[in-house]
Amino acid sequence: MSQEVSLLELREAVQLYEQEEEHLNLSYTWYLAEASRFGRIYFARIPVPTHKRNNTWYVDHDKFMEAIEHHRKSLENRREVAESFSRGIVNGQTGQTVEGDELIYKVLGDFCLVRTEEDWWIGNTFGNWYCNKCQTPAKTEHEKEECQFCKYGKGCGGDCTLSQLYCPNCGNTLDL
């Protein structure tokens, strides 16, 4: 015996999603194309199944509400991460990337690579290293050999020659 799925018209779902803070601003045509092409639409990184009945597209109501709740929790988490970071609290373990409001950082030992929205606007897409112990900018040394991508002019998009991070303020050091 199959369980009946509660449906919500796609147009209504999109309108509800557009009322959420910091939603992705996509055209209704995009949603229709995704529904038709894949039989699902992503709202807030959650796949929501779609169904077409009598020339009208619908989404799974429960899955859609799950996606909205995920979106709200994600926004709240990003705000908390940004607020913690502004107070000098670094969340995450080594190797973990943490996303906050208008910033993203990757933790590496007692240092973190921080990229802010401002960095993107000014063309600093790589970001800046900071010491987690004293929250001051770290210095870098680049003594490693370039990776194969960089050697042949393709670029790896990373910092493959990075060999050491050190903090001139507190003396914290990390050899890579």
Q: Can you give the pLDDT at residue 131?
A: 93
**Tokens 């209504």 sit on residue:** 12
Q: Is the pTM of this model over 0.75?
A: no
- What count of other Cβ atoms lies within 10 Å of the Cβ of residue 116? 17
Find the helix or strand (DSSP H, E) in which 57 lies. Answer: strand 56-60
**Tokens 């859609």 sit on residue:** 64
Q: Can you give the pLDDT at residue 2?
A: 53
Mean pLDDT, contiguous 10-residue spans, the chain (176 residues): 79 96 89 95 92 96 95 89 85 86 87 84 80 91 87 78 92 91
CA 23, CA 161: separation in Å to the nearest integer?
38
Contacts of residues 34-43 at CB distance under 8 Å and 24 or more positions apart, as own/partner, are: 35/10, 41/10, 42/67, 43/13, 43/17, 43/67, 43/68, 43/71
Q: Can you give the pLDDT at residue 3?
A: 65
| Helix ranges (DSSP H) in 20-116 | 28-38, 61-86
Q: Are 60 and 7 in contact (CB under 8 A)?
A: yes
